[in-house]
Amino acid sequence: MEASTAQPRREAGKALRRRRIIEAAGALAREVGFDAVSMAQIAKRAQVSPATPYNLFQTKHAIFREVYSQDLARLTQKLDSAHAARPLERVFLAIDFANSHYRRNPKYYRARAHFMSMQAVNAVTGELGREFWRARVADAIAAGELRAEADANLLGGLLLRIIQGLTFEWVAGSVTLDRLGDEAAYGFALLLHNYVTEEAEALIVSRIKKLERALARTQKKSARRGGRGRDREGAA
């Protein structure tokens, strides 16, 4: 009997240590930035031995992959509980939710985007991001809002590239968060319009027109400032 209960206890203990390490890594990244966090700091904050993060994850990159995975899981839960009933609307709602997170803690999300741009990190986090957007597209296909022949894997990857590219521009100070959100949504709408069904045609067309008006207003404001389009939030 004792042997049969020892294994579950060990696994439960390991899962608890993993959770504490991931939470500690995320908290430290918010305080000092991703690059400055060391495995020793993570172990100390998580109250585990210095060897435990290596034994359970091997590398700091692997720990931050889990931090990113949990961020996506929370975003997915928030989308699932949102009042927007239509899956296609949730594609755009995901941009709004991400944007609100960036706005609340710009320093952290700029640092995270910079860290994720590293080749060794992007190779693993890219798959998580692609799966997140693939799932959003797949939901819209299943709901009959995008045509059945639409390739969820391909479209999910393209949506990821759009949001990644604009996020890196924000990190560099080239665009503000408002511009990031509008341009990402506009790119999404133009791409998905090629696959939309009659049921969702009006929704996408209406969104495209609304975004075109918003982007035109932003462009005029930038021109009036003589090209000085950066504000405090958008500066590097």
What is the rounded average pLDDT of the residues 193-219? 94
Cα dist. 87→60, 81, 93, 120, 218 in Å? 35, 12, 10, 33, 28
What residues make up the domain containing 179? 60-224
pTM: 0.82
Identify which has the larger pLDDT, 94 or 233. 94
Q: Are residues 42 and 72 in the same domain?
A: no
Looking at 58, 78, 95, which one is the last position of a domain? 58
Q: Are residues 31 and 90 in the same domain?
A: no
Residue 158 has pLDDT above 60, yes or no: yes
- CB atoms inside a 10 Å sphere around CB 223: 10
Per-residue model confidence (pLDDT) at position 230: 47
Query: What is the CATH number for 145?
Result: 1.10.357.10
Interacting residues of 63 by C-beta distance below 8 A, sequence separation 6+: 21, 22, 25, 42, 53, 57
Q: Are residues 85 and 6 in the same domain?
A: no
Structure confidence by residue, pLDDT tens digits, 114-146: 777 765 556 667 888 999 999 999 999 999 999
Per-residue model confidence (pLDDT) at position 2: 55
Per-residue model confidence (pLDDT) at position 10: 82
* Residue 196: φ, ψ to 5°: -75, 150
* Residue 70 burial (C-beta neighbours within 10 Å; 0-12, 13-18, 19+): middle
Q: Are residues 29 and 96 in the same domain?
A: no
Q: Are residues 40 and 75 in the same domain?
A: no
